[in-house]
Structure 1
């Protein structure tokens, strides 16, 4: 299989034993160019998540892997745009979850609640990356404060889940998570526009 990165082509055998060396080569070249991995194009298919697993599952038939890398500023902008899009789309869903927890949550409510928690985990990871990455001029203190507040609210939310208290879950989402969600949306909006 061919690996194409920064105008160079490398040949690897279609064998799992080649993958560690291939990934080392990719990340070494990204570091040299001061770039961030955006995604891979594997035989014409764009792969953004679980790239290693995707390649391992198809190792026998892969012909080409194109590495798509971006500058740090482009990557940060993409993170903020993705976060803004998610936060904006999720707010109406959060309203529905609150309403349903104040009544009697159905199995579907719990599934959507779980999806909300997965979104919070993704936001937490993104905020962690943004606060820990030294190559940008973002307000790290504001991002760290939002992340700390989110972690505390998530802890309280999980305690309410363990207690099986649907009203407390609804209250926490209504009066803690939702206002923070709106604050994050405003903060992210500022960074998406700039």
Structure 2
């Protein structure tokens, strides 16, 4: 069978023992070329179920797998849409979380803080990833506002270091201050900027 991905063709024998190798090969090429999966077309048919299972069931008859990747435009739109949804929800949770740390944070408070910490890291990573896309000026809806959003998110870099130290030292008052006076403001500004940038949501591998 032939596997076509980003104008690259790889061939495998139609053997059941090759199923795992095929899935690994596709994922490796997606990762190496920093591509996101859109969908698969197998022998002319759109496939949206798990590739591993589909291959296991049909390995002897498949002739061609076309791996359709997402365009930069779609990646940007989906990522910004996800970022907007995350930030809009987080804005509503930060103030109550800060108040919890000013008092007596429970186990759920620490768990929510850890989740927020991971969310902030993800937001920063998405900004770096998008900002490195070629011809981004022709992709985002408003390039000036995009740059303003980037500068806003960069403000999280110093805050997240302080937050990590405060979490390690269990400095509850400092955590509350960082949440209420730093992160809340940055998230509110980010939400405003993203409203002018969004139109969608992404997969980065097959399974």
* TM-score interval for Structure 1 and Structure 2 normalised by the shorter chain: 0.7 to 0.9
Shift of 1:44: 3.7
Question: Residue 122 of structure 1 corresponds to which residue in structure 2?
Answer: 122
Shift of 1:123: 0.5
Cα distance in structure 1, aligned partners of 2:78 and 2:117: 22
Question: Residue 94 of structure 1 corresponds to which residue in structure 2?
Answer: 94
Question: Residue 49 of structure 1 corresponds to which residue in structure 2?
Answer: none
Question: Residue 163 of structure 1 corresponds to which residue in structure 2?
Answer: 169
Asked if the contact 1:72/1:135 (under 8 Å) is kept, the reply is no
Unaligned runs of 5+ in 1: 47-53
Shift of 1:70: 2.5
Cα distance in structure 1, aligned partners of 2:175 and 2:57: 47
Cα distance in structure 2, aligned partners of 1:157 and 1:150: 10
- Residues 28-39 of structure 1 aligned to structure 2 (within 5 Å): 36-39=35-38
- Structure-1-length-normalised TM-score: 0.72
Unaligned runs of 5+ in 2: 41-45, 60-64, 138-142, 200-207
User: Partner of 2:195: helix, strand, or coil?
Assistant: helix
Residue-by-residue CA offset, 1:105-147 (whole Å, 9 max, x unaligned): 1111111111111111110110111222222113464344223
Larger radius of gyration: 2
Asked if the contact 2:30/2:37 (under 8 Å) is kept, the reply is no
Q: Which has the larger share of helix? A: 1
User: Partner of 2:104: helix, strand, or coil?
Assistant: coil
User: Partner of 1:114: helix, strand, or coil?
Assistant: helix
Question: Residue 175 of structure 1 corresponds to which residue in structure 2?
Answer: 181
Cα distance in structure 2, aligned partners of 1:132 and 1:142: 16
Asked if the contact 1:38/1:75 (under 8 Å) is kept, the reply is no
Shift of 1:68: 4.5
Residue-by-residue CA offset, 1:59-92 (whole Å, 9 max, x unaligned): 9847587745332122211111111111111222
Cα distance in structure 2, aligned partners of 1:2 and 1:105: 57
- More relative contact order in 1 or in 2 (CA 8 Å, sep 6+)? 2
Cα distance in structure 2, aligned partners of 1:183 and 1:120: 14
- Structure-2-length-normalised TM-score: 0.68
- CA-based RMSD of the aligned residues comes to 3.7
Residue-by-residue CA offset, 1:26-83 (whole Å, 9 max, x unaligned): 579x89xxxx52445697447xxxxxxx96xx79847587745332122211111111
Shift of 1:100: 1.0
